[in-house]
Amino acid sequence: MKKVVLLCTLAVLMFACKSTSVTSTNTDRKAQVAIKGNWVISSVSYPGSEYIKVNTFQLADSECFVGSTWKFVSNNNKGNMALTKANCVAFSSPITWFVNNDGQFILKILDAGEKARKVRDGYILHLANQSETSFQLIDKIDVGGKMTDVVYQFQKVN
């Protein structure tokens, strides 16, 4: 009997831990509509830490994202991205995304034909400096115990 109680308690604790890490799902429609369209990452920078190596989205070195193309469709929160830089791994994928009311940009990179609800891993970045022709997504990573920003600068293509 104790074993059953212990397992139930563990399951509840695991669920509680998971629920505390969930971000707000209330969307910022204005920010999302402003992102609609085709974009390119014009630069990746690490303010205050220029000599670090970052494996972005567990796909490739962050420098391989410079020149990558991104399409954001705001009415269904889908799109796609493609890495095409020479001497880097070529990669393209459908994505799903949204901007919540906390200014967080939530991104999931999907395998072809995969439904977003089946993908458990995603990325939470901060949306900053948004204008009609540019915006930044800022990731925070741990570098030797110090939280460091990785800034992806997006420029509008059309």
pLDDT, tens digit (0-9, with 9 covering 90-100), for 32-86: 889 999 999 999 998 876 677 888 888 888 999 999 999 999 889 999 999 999 9
CA distance from start to end of the chain: 64
pLDDT digits (tens, 9 = 90+) for 6-27: 333 333 322 322 233 445 677 8
pLDDT grade for 112, boundaries at 50, 70 and 90: low
Q: Is the pLDDT of residue 118 over 60?
A: no
Q: What is the pLDDT at residue 64?
A: 93
pTM of the model as a whole: 0.78
Lowest mean pLDDT among 1-10, 35-44, 104-113: 1-10
Q: What is the pLDDT at residue 59?
A: 86
Summary mean pLDDT of the chain: 79
Long-range contacts of 22-25 (CB under 8 A, 24+ apart): 23/100, 23/102, 23/104, 23/106, 23/124, 24/100, 24/101, 24/102, 24/104, 25/98, 25/100
In contact, 95 and 109? CB cutoff 8 Å: yes
* Token code pair at residue 135: 């915006």
In contact, 128 and 135? CB cutoff 8 Å: yes
* Token code pair at residue 25: 């799902």
> pLDDT exceeding 70 applies to what percent of the chain?
76
